[in-house]
Structure formats: structure tokens, C-alpha cells
Amino acid sequence: MCAEAGFIKIGFTRYEILNEESGFLRMWLDKGLNAGMKWMHNNIEKRRDPSLILEDVKSVISLAYFYDTPAEHDENFRIPKISRYAWGKKDYHKILKKKLKHLCLEIEKQEAGIRTKSYTDDGPVMDKVWAERSGIGWIGKNTNVINKDFGSYFFIATIFINRELIYDRPVEDLCGSCNLCIEACPTGALFKDYNLDSNLCISYQTIENRGEIPEEINLNGWIFGCDICQEVCPFTRNKFFTNDENFYPSAGHFNKTYDELISMSEDDFNNTFNGTPVRRTKYNGWRRNLIKAIEEIL
């Protein structure tokens, strides 16, 4: 069922209360490393204990959905960059929610009394932790989940289920002594192994930040998100591409020049990016990002 739905990897792990991991999350939040994402303070108890989401939960199913394509950014400095996950025509939340809904219905048909609850980066779930525990991959030094065969260009979906399953083992952390992601991060957001300061992260600044971008943050040509820490990772060089055309670049905004993008009216922006992740930054944020990126190359 999962393969038919397009998921490239599935793993199973036992439900447990995440005391240690939620403790790290609290410390990270207390240090202000979430920047302006105040919503991350919400529902920490649910993140810690999924039984507050599904009362009789017994197991956690993690799934990976690949989104990388053969397309590449044009290296012309007059052409800004958008994160790979946002190249396509639809928001991944909508695509994966539909697939998860169908998958959960099929699972619940297997036996009377089965109950599930699913999320894809849209609820109080420590999805990376569950993905690591279920053997999807390991949480790398760039804080992304990395699979040795597929790299890290995949979305994570999580299903809680009230049944015992046959469980997978976590995989080995293969980052080793490699520090390419930390060394490549242009703003120092990856300030040490496995630690991210969102205040310095280009992805945060260009997507989630609703204010002005600090002058000292150089966008390095990125106007929505940033893939640098994934691009340099050795495990993303094992080229594997999605068959889902929803994630292939849209001609409406891929590899367009600054001049073409800055000339968009608000209506143009809304029509071009309707139903895509880029809408999250809103028109004012889009203009802000473009103007700053242009100023950096003048």
C-alpha cells in the first residue's frame, strides 16, 4: 500500500514517551533558537507523549516521500534560488494528506478496532525523532533526517496506530567526522554538530520571518528557503528522483531572473504561487526577499 502511494521508505517503532527528546526541545526553545516561531512552544506535552493524540497508541509508523528531481538551478547570479521542495505546482501538505488519509482508511479496514492518526509536518509531532527510531534514517549534523541510499530530499509522514507491530531498528549515524554542512552554511546557523540556530537560518528568514531580515544575514541568492546544507551532503549525491510530477519545476517561477520576479504584482504572485509552498511567505515577504537579494549583488 505504501509503495503504491509513492512512499520510498517505511519504518515501524514502538510508542514511547519522549522524555529525553522533549527535554532537548525545551532547552532549544529556552535559548531562543526557534527565533520568531513562537508556535513551537505550543503542545509540547503532545510532542512528548503521543497518547495525548491517540489515547491507545501502541506503535508509530514513519514514511518518507521523495521530492528531488533532475532539474538544477541556473548558476547565473541574476537568477535567484528557491528551495527544491517548493519548485512544484502544489503544496506537499495537500498531496501527502490525501495519500495518508487513503492509506489510514486502508489500514483501518484490515481489522476491526484499528485506529490511526496521521500527520505530515503539520501537527504536534517530533517527526524526525520517530523517523530516526523507525530506521528511516539518522538525524544528521545539518538536523535533517538522512538516508544512506536516498539522501535527505524527502518529506516525513507519521502515523500513530493502536496496534503492536514488528519493529525496525534505528540505523547507524554515518555523518562521522564529516562537517561539510557546517562549513558550508554561509550564516553560521549550524553552529555546532546537530544544532541549528533559526535566527541565522536563511530558510527561516525567507519563509517564517514576518519582519525585516537582519542586515548581517546574507541570503546568497536564496529567496525562498535554502538547500546548501543538503546540497553539500555526500548522501544527496546518490541521485534518485521522484516520479511525482507535482514536484517537478513549474515554468511559472523556476529559474526566472530577478527582474522577472520583482516585476510581479500581488495578483501575479497569488496566481503564480496559488496552492504552492511559496505562498507562505506572502507577497510582502516575497518582495522583501527579492529586494534584499538584489541589494546583495549590486
Active site residues: 121
Enter the DSSP assignment of 148: T
Cα angle value 130/43/214 (rounded, 5°): 90
- 3-state SS assignment for residue 48: helix
Cβ atoms 206, 281 nearer than 8 A: yes
| C-alpha to C-alpha distances, 225 to 64, 134, 209, 243, 271, nearest whole angstrom | 20, 27, 11, 23, 20
Q: Which three cell numbers stand for residue 37?
A: 516561531
Cβ atoms 264, 241 nearer than 8 A: no
* Strand (E) or helix (H) holding 24: helix 19-30
| Residue labelled with grid coordinates 503539520 | 122
